[in-house]
Chain A
Amino acid sequence: MANITIETLTKRFDDVVAVDDVNVDIEDGEFIVLVGPSGCGKTTTLRMIAGLETPSEGQIQFDGDLMNYRTPQNRDVAMVFQDYALYPHMTVRGNMKFGLEEEPDFTDEERKQRVEEVAELLDISELLDRRPEELSGGQQQRVALGRAIVRDPEVFLMDEPLSNLDAKLRAQMRTELQQLQEQLDVTTVYVTHDQTEAMTMSDRMVVMNDGVLQQVGEPLELYHEPTNMFVAQFIGEPSMNFLDGSYEDEAFVSEQLAYPFDDRITDGLSAVSDNDRLVLGIRPEDIELHDPDGEPQGETSHENHTAAMSVTVVEPMGNENVIHLTFPDSSSGTEDLIAIADGMRRIDADSDIHVHIPPEAVHVFDAETGDALYNRRLEHEGNVIQI
């Protein structure tokens, strides 16, 4: 149990900067997830915390103690590897006991007892005398976890531990890991490329791209208030829709769409002048779809933020339908928006539909830097979330 301070951490491999000036404070007992696409430097960061890589610059501290030059053996961390890295010539018991046997202040009886306790906790007691090759992927995963837990370390490090499991097992292990971490209350740094894992498991998540830290925060904070377009599109499934256009007369104008901003938004865009390039962001789940023949709010007009579009593809998921939409006069023929509709609602491909983009749900980004200029404010909708 330790807090971890990472300051201006940088790692260069020859000419390649894998991790670039990362600063994070991880609190004692926190479950923090490093997330980003492959090659973003998240694993390198984790390996530097473990001591398997030496930082080129910057500091890593556990409880204020500088760790940079300490070997992995002396850091009191435990790590779960993506391929589990179980020792194939040892039984499960041998694997779990290995780390304890390297610590002199246990008696043999204590080691044995500790292994059995942890095996009990993870429900792998009956596997103790088998070899890793005789276990299924899920069982191997548990053994790898057990090997980490049994040492009772200051910090848990996990490098995509669930990525080799099938989808169902992964979802199950996700909850289990989370409960386990809460129970053990050990500071955990978890690396994944899967935003669902990051969202569901983490106390706070760290989004990285190209070695650069993009944003640190609680999952919902990142979801609702992304600092830039990268975070906005990385968090959430399907990704946020982006429309390219420019700022004209307090409105967003693109080839197909003119979208007037209300006061709340224009207040936030004080630094933006006319004709500046903007990107309008809207999450698929916030788009409202109306029947053109239906209710009055189905009217298409700029004032009520509704446009006529046609449906190109419908992906039924059961609980919801993923609807791909295109503007009718769209020259490119590519889809322009993705929306999510209720699973019980019947929407046909090639039909016309009225699309309402609620102004309280839009995000505005600077087209050049990708930085968020305006994010939705949850307070406006009445359900205040403390972040």
Chain B
Amino acid sequence: MATHEATGESVADSVGWRTKFRYVLNGDFVRSLPFWGIPFVIMGIAVYGGIGYNIAISLTDTAGIGPVDWSSLDLEMYSQALAEPAVHRAAMNTFVLLVAFTAICLVLGLFLAVLLDRQFRFKQQTQMIYLLPMSLSFVVTAKLWVWMYDAEVGVINVVLGLFGISPINFLGNPSFSLAAIIFALIWQFSGYTMIVYLAGLQSIPESQFEAAQIDGASTIRIYLRVIIPQLKAASVSAAVVLMVFALKTFTFLYALTGGYTPPKGTDILATLMMREAFNNVQWAYGAAIATMLLIMALGVISPYLYYQHRQGSL
């Protein structure tokens, strides 16, 4: 018996470290490493590393130019930000922009999609017209709408003037400015919602519409009761994309004025954060605002992630 055990051990020993090493090298994990490893490292450092560093900075009192002092870590910057009326205003504006822009885009896109879904000539071309603004960059849209909204020579005020309405300084007047910016963003993105809904509508068989007609439902009732309830998945995915764009409104506002100070009444968390950090060199304070913005974005995206999870695709 003993000899047998001894030989058994010697067999195990004879499989040298080279063989084991080669075995590990040939494994799926190592062989697939170059394909997912590189993006994993880049993403990890650039995105999640950045987020982590940002949170770390927000806990310090860093301001001005100089080395970061890591000695006292606390939530002072957050309490300071939460007490600041400017932050409240910016958070409110961010929220209003997010909700109003997304909701109006969805409704308008759905309306356009329903119109386009009815058969008519030049449907393809019309579809393109609505979608084209989407292909423009924020910078172009911003410059275009600065001109449209101009208090003296802007197209909108010229047209209003024809009806005897005195010029309105859309971007200068705080009670109009946020609405004006939301309107410009809707102009750019409602075409996208329309395309998403149109694809959803076209996947519903014609016979459903016909069955409801024969069941006695009017066209409006058919849409309300049969067609639109089936567009839930399309609504969710369109809403998520729109919300992400709403959070990126920073680019639009930056291009509008060429700086971190947007028109009065349209200050959002992103512009406030940039101003605090880069104009006022309040690094820690800016970082705290950035973290709050991140939490808000996570709040927006989490219902979608939950929905995906429930559908079994996450």
Interface residues of A (CB under 8 A from B): 50-52, 71-73, 75, 77-79, 81-83, 85, 87-89, 98-99, 102-103, 147, 151, 157
Contact = CB atoms under 8 A, between A and B. Distances in A.
Contact of A89 (B207, B217, B230): B230
Interface in B211-252: 211-218, 221, 225-226, 229-230, 232
A-B complex: 8 closest residue pairs judged by Cβ atoms: A99-B215, A85-B207, A85-B211, A102-B216, A72-B213, A89-B229, A81-B207, A72-B214
Contact of B215 (A51, A88, A98): A98
B157 to A, nearest CB: 46
Contacts of A85: 205, 207-208, 210-211
Contacts of A82: 207
Interface of B: 205, 207-208, 210-218, 221, 225-226, 229-230, 232
Given A85-B205, A85-B210, A73 B216 contact: yes
B208 A73 contact: no
A81 B216 CA distance: 16
7 contacts: A51-B213, A82-B207, A85-B205, A85-B207, A87-B212, A89-B232, A102-B221
Contacts of B221: 102
B220 to A, nearest CB: 12
B214 A50 contact: yes
A71 B213 contact: yes
B217 A73 contact: yes
A79 B216 contact: no
A51 B59 CA distance: 71
A88 B231 CA distance: 11
| Residue among A72, A78, A83, A147 with the highest chain B CB neighbour number at 10 A | A72
A85 B221 CA distance: 17
Nearest to B206: A85
B225 A98 contact: yes
A147 B210 contact: no
Given A52-B210, A85-B210, A102 B217 contact: yes
Nearest to A151: B215
Contacts of B216: 73, 99, 102-103, 151
B144 to A, nearest CB: 40
A89 B232 CA distance: 10
A83 B210 contact: no
Contacts of B226: 87, 98
Contacts of A50: 210, 214
B210 A81 contact: yes
Contacts of A75: 214
Contact of A77 (B214, B225, B230): B214
B225 to A, nearest CB: 7
A87 B229 CA distance: 10
Contacts of A52: 210, 213-214
B235 to A, nearest CB: 13
Contacts of A73: 213-214, 216-218
A147 B215 contact: yes
| Residue among A82, A83, A98 with the highest chain B CB neighbour number at 10 A | A98
Contacts of B213: 51-52, 71-73
Contacts of B212: 87, 98
Contacts of B230: 88-89
Contacts of A88: 230
Contacts of B225: 98
Nearest to B221: A102
A44 B226 CA distance: 24
B206 to A, nearest CB: 9
B201 to A, nearest CB: 14
Nearest to A83: B207
Contacts of B214: 50-52, 72-73, 75, 77-79, 157
| Residue among A81, A85, A99, A103 with the highest chain B CB neighbour number at 10 A | A85
A60 B240 CA distance: 50
Contact of B217 (A51, A78, A98, A157): A98
Contacts of B211: 79, 81, 85, 87, 147
Contacts of A79: 210-211, 214
Nearest to A157: B214
Given A77-B214, A98-B212, 12 more contacts: A50-B210, A51-B213, A52-B210, A73-B214, A73-B216, A75-B214, A79-B210, A79-B214, A81-B211, A89-B232, A99-B216, A147-B211
